[in-house]
Amino acid sequence: MDRAIIVDGLVKNFEVTEKQPGLTGAFRSFLSPKKKIVRALKGISFAVQPGELIGFIGPNGAGKTTTLKTLSGLLYPTEGFVSVLEFDPWKRNPEFLKQISLVMGQKNQLWWDLPAIETFELNRAIYDIPVRSYNQNLNELIELLDTGEILNTPVRKLSLGQRMKMELTAALLHKPKVLFLDEPTIGLDIVAQQKIRDFIYDYNIKYGATILLTSHNMDDLINLARRVVIVNNGYILYDGPFEELISKFAKEKLIKARLSNEDNISDLEKIGKIKKLSFPEVIISVPRTTAPVAASELLQNFPIDDLTIEEIPIEEIIRKAFKNEPEK
């Protein structure tokens, strides 16, 4: 098998009811509903090699989650060809389901009032994992994610970061060959985000898993993805090395600082391009290569209470890179 995932001319349309405003409009929509077709995916094509870790990115509503749901068999395509591990996903073949997993950062598969270990036991039965393999896999995941002390804690009492670790554990107990991750670090603090990234990287290397990752967090992509596929408005706009995209369209970084007073505030323009200045907050754009030096100059010459260096948003990179999109 030279390609773990094949997508060729994938189209996905949804029929939705148009809602009219106001109470009268609501009655009209109920009695005489007007339907319209929303074209979520408009003929996208790409392939993924076994063991690749790919960033699948784009703005909200671009078609990312729809693609992952189609690849995992939750949605039936309107048109096109899709193959995952040489299976048709929407046939939901048990052998296929035992080799994939879908983790959605905003969805919860764990039983809320029970300890996560109860969900793990349920998944062991669902995936028919031998007890010996289950115990071995669980112990490896506990060690990788450092979750031994919270296995028997009710899920509702866990922090968001702890819950995400448990979600990953539940999804990986059966050692899937293909892993679809939809915003796995959303809502997590910086420390938790990095721990999740480290785990995903280690899992990919250790088990050779094929991983398709969606994220709005540039740090996720910088730390994990060598290749990115950018989708917007249902079309693929870019498919290639992440470094090439960054070098061409993300030449700056953002320095965000909080000032303790307004002394020398007019001199901030000497550091870089001021994107926003609303005391005490200031955002300055500087070249990537000089960001550490610029941050040092700010700390030495201005009254700074707090400072962070951040990547520009993914949406801005897309806007810079692709000003002309295919027609709808």
Q: Is the peptide bond before 94 cis (omega within 30 degrees of 0)?
A: no
Q: With a cut of 60, say whether residue 327 has pLDDT above it.
A: no
Residues 190-229 have pLDDT tens digits of 888 888 899 899 999 999 999 999 988 888 888 899 999 9
- CB neighbour class for 279 (10 Å; exposed up to 12, middle 13-18, buried from 19): exposed
Quote the CA–CA distance of 235 and 67 in Å, as a whole number: 11
Residues 41-78 have pLDDT tens digits of 999 999 999 999 999 988 888 899 999 999 999 999 99
Per-residue confidence at 107, pLDDT binned at 50, 70, 90?
confident
List residues bridging with 230 in a β-sheet: 57, 238
- CB neighbour class for 253 (10 Å; exposed up to 12, middle 13-18, buried from 19): buried
Q: Determine the structural domain holding residue 109 and report its residue range.
A: 50-247
Q: Single out the residue in 221, 247, 273 at which a domain terminates.
A: 247
Which residues does 126 contact at the CB level (< 8 Å), separation at least 6?
none
Which residues does 22 contact at the CB level (< 8 Å), separation at least 6?
none
Calculate ∠ Cα 287-289-294, nearest 5°.
Answer: 65
Q: Single out the residue in 247, 268, 283 at which a domain terminates.
A: 247
Which backbone phi and psi does 87 adopt, to 5 degrees? Answer: -110, 155
Specify the pTM: 0.80
Q: With a cut of 60, say whether residue 292 has pLDDT above it.
A: yes
Query: Where do runs of H (alpha helix) occur along the chain?
Result: 22-31, 64-71, 94-97, 116-126, 131-145, 160-172, 190-207, 218-224, 242-249, 291-301, 314-321
| Residue in the block written with tokens 């506990």 | 142
How many other CB atoms sit within 10 Å of the CB of residue 29? 15
- Flag the least confident range among 36-45, 86-95, 181-190: 181-190
Quote the CA–CA distance of 231 and 58 in Å, as a whole number: 5
Quote the CA–CA distance of 279 and 257 in Å, as a whole number: 10
Which backbone phi and psi does 125 adopt, to 5 degrees? Answer: -70, -40
| Residue in the block written with tokens 């970061």 | 161
Q: Are residues 71 and 117 in the same domain?
A: yes
**Domain CATH number, residue 86:** 3.40.50.300
Q: Are residues 86 and 124 in the same domain?
A: yes
Closest Cα to residue 309, out of 256, 236, 249, 270?
256
Which backbone phi and psi does 296 adopt, to 5 degrees? Answer: -65, -40
Residues 272-286 have pLDDT tens digits of 999 999 999 999 999
Q: Are residues 146 and 286 in the same domain?
A: no
Domain for residue 4, yes or no?
no
Domain for residue 13, yes or no?
no
Domain for residue 18, yes or no?
no
Give how many domains the chain has, as a whole number.
Answer: 2
Quote the CA–CA distance of 214 and 57 in Å, as a whole number: 5
**Domain CATH number, residue 284:** 3.30.70.260
Q: Are residues 279 and 231 in the same domain?
A: no
Residues 117-169 have pLDDT tens digits of 999 999 999 999 999 999 999 999 998 888 999 999 999 999 888 898 999 99
Q: Are residues 108 and 232 in the same domain?
A: yes
Q: Are residues 213 and 257 in the same domain?
A: no
Q: Are residues 81 and 165 in the same domain?
A: yes
